[in-house]
Amino acid sequence: MSAMTLAEKIVARASGRASVTPGEIVTARVDLAMIHDSGGPRRVGPILKRLGAPIWDPSRVALVIDHYLPADDPESAAIVDGARRYAAAEKLGHFFDGEGICHVVVPERGLLRPGMFVVGGDSHSPTGGAFGAYMFGVGATEMAGVLATGELWLEVPGTVRIEWTGRLAPGVSAKDIMLFLCGRLGMDGGRYQAVEYVGEAIRALPMQERMTLANMTAELGGQTGLVPPDAVTAAAVAAAGGDAGDWARWASDADAPVLEHHVFDASELSPQVAAPHSPANARSVAETIGRHVDIAYIGACTGAKLADLHMAADVLRGHRAAAGVTLLVAPASRHDQARAEADGTLAVLRAAGAELLPNACGICAGYGTARFGENVTAISTTARNFRGRMGADSSQVYLASPYTVAASAIEGRIADPRPHLSGASR
Amino acid sequence: MSGRAFVFGDDVDTDVLAPGRYMRLPIAELARHCLEALDPAFAAEVRPGDIVVGGRNFGLGSSREQAAEALKALGVAAVVARSFAGIFHRNAINLGLPVVACAEAGCIAAGDRLTLDLAAGTLVNATTGETLTFRPLAPVLMTLIADGGLVPHLEKRFRAPTTERSA
Ligand code: SF4
């Protein structure tokens, strides 16, 4: 049998074949389907009804309510309510209501394991790749097809390998790695293939940082973003109540061909900031330093997990947001918020003047009434800063790591976090 | 199929195709705001059969298929672009909206009259007299598009032939 990459091995397993070759179209069986209130029941429900098809296996479906929370207008309330009723009527195996953002909640409940083949009704579904699961985003029609049949078509991807040697410097994080890659390779750098993150700097990342990495594979234009499973993965899955199984088999063969192999030195990476209106505008923080900000937003699946809150607190400890700066924190899950409360992180953030928002997509999705106003300049830990996504078309959103957003909150302008580190998160 | 070209640049994203603040609206209303950030007159001027032309990485951004659905709702017959973002590409095929990746899409100008032959992989520009070629989609995906998308395709599988015609 020819040598295969990690992505090819998972696709081969899911499609019941001994081996697969990039470019061929296979039918793959899905181990878990994740949907949320926006692209989920209100869109897939009517299609399933039209097909007259029941859900193939409700025990393999997870529904998360996160996009339309807080449901503070009638349309949002109706959408959320409909999702709740759907979960009960269809007896879905996993239902999380107000527990946090789907990409964080599903793995924190032990539902992702190395080698799984998973689809999510959301573009940031590659987040699951942090656990060595082949996970990717599909639209609602395709999700309806999956729910009806348990399978979908897939063009077997090639692999774009991205290697980071060395170690990240203090104050530099996985978000900086991904912003840098978006700036360097562009938002189609992943070529809708499987991106595989390897190297010393990646192996040194804790699980939630790996999630940030895999998450923003979406911005890099990859279909999925895999971190080869290791002891960190196994420990994280076990801590979440799951079983990582025989994780060591989920690794690329040394001689498996890849499409591209990029090598970068992590020790040379500086904090990155992406200027409006694209993650691809990422440059070293030095290039935007001093730009005035009105809002510092710490939120989203990619930017408000416990590890992200720790980074923000590291910088904010003993400081306050500058006068005139609104510091908003929307912890990515209720579980992470509870842990941040227990370990004193939230106290640091509150003392810095942070306003806490619900454990949901909130302003990142821009769906509800909570949006940035006209001409507001924000610096945000979220994943994308397209014009008009998080607020008015005239609002300007800069993307950066939790360290950099926190430092910018203190200074009232975009700031390099490195002089602000207290060292508490390291 | 043939129609007029509506030409856009690189990186047309899903927030521009299906703006988040209109996502709660029914698709026909959402579609009226499709691409308005780039061309406020687009939704009013596009006619059934017209063809949207883009540059690199058309449809990048979120997985919301309303991005492709809005184009379909406006009657857009196909999207031709130098390259596509993956999820948009999948969504379009699953919705039965033909997507054509053509390296030379950049030489199409707004208003050009285009004729597409999906199976043959040719795009004739009647305005300039040029013929562009592209790699046709794999046969299984052509079948999906010919069936009108994944849902009609699956209907064949789930609905008995007798009930298919009723309702
Ligand atoms: S937090 Fe933002 S990026 Fe994450 S799932 Fe919600 S809307 Fe998407």
What is residue B97's three-state secondary structure? coil
> Between A255 and B61, whose confidence is greater?
A255
Give strand ranges (E) for chain B.
2-7, 51-54, 78-81, 99-101, 113-117, 122-125, 130-133
The alpha carbon of A101 and the centre of ligand 1 are apart by a number of angstroms equal to: 7
**A239-248, A417-426, B109-118: which range is least confident on average?**
A417-426
pLDDT digit string, tens, across residues A144-158: 999 999 999 999 999
- DSSP string for residues in A44-85: HHHHHHHHT---S-GGGEEEEE-TT-S--SHHHHHHHHHHHH
pLDDT of residue A425: 54
Q: Is the minimum distance from the CB of A379 to ligand 1 under 6 angstroms?
A: no
Residue A3, phi then psi, degrees to nearest 5: -65, 140
What is residue A27's three-state secondary structure? strand
pLDDT of residue B161: 55
Q: Cβ contact (<8 Å) for A141 and B64?
A: no
pLDDT over threshold 60, residue A268: yes
| Best mutation site among A66, A67, A68, A124 for ligand 1 pocket (most ligand atoms within 8 Å of CB) | A124
The alpha carbon of A367 and the centre of ligand 1 are apart by a number of angstroms equal to: 11
> What is the ipTM score, two decimals?
0.88
Q: Which residues of A touch B (CB under 8 A)?
A: 25, 38-39, 47, 50-53, 75-76, 79, 121-123, 125, 137-142, 144-145, 148-149, 153, 155, 186-188, 192, 221, 223, 278, 280, 365-367, 371, 384, 386-389, 393
CA-based nearest residue to A365, from A46, A44, A65, A81 = A65
The alpha carbon of B11 and the centre of ligand 1 are apart by a number of angstroms equal to: 20
Q: Is the minimum distance from the CB of A101 to ligand 1 under 6 angstroms?
A: yes
CB A395 within 8 A of CB A377: yes
Q: How far is CA A352 from CA A308, A322, A341, A355, B115, in A?
A: 16, 9, 15, 9, 61
Amino acid at A424: A
pLDDT digit string, tens, across residues B81-130: 999 999 899 999 999 999 999 999 999 999 999 999 999 999 999 999 99
Q: Is the minimum distance from the CB of A124 to ligand 1 under 6 angstroms?
A: yes
Distance between A401 CA and the closest CA of chain B, angstroms? 20
CA-based nearest residue to A223, from B63, B36, B53, B132 = B63
Task: Round to whole Å and give the CA distance between B30 and A140.
Answer: 16
If you search the block for the tokens 């999700």, which residue do you land on?
Answer: A143
Residue closest via CA to ligand 1's atom 7 equals: A365
Task: Round to whole Å and give the CA distance between A397 and A415.
Answer: 15
Q: Residue A155 has which token pair? A: 């063009």
pLDDT over threshold 50, residue B132: yes
Task: Round to whole Å and give the CA distance between A324 and A14.
Answer: 53
pLDDT digit string, tens, across residues A323-380: 999 999 999 999 999 999 999 999 999 999 999 999 999 999 988 778 999 999 999 9
Q: Is the minimum distance from the CB of A307 to ligand 1 under 6 angstroms?
A: no
CA-based nearest residue to A142, from B69, B83, B159 = B69
Task: Round to whole Å and give the CA distance between B21 and B15.
Answer: 9
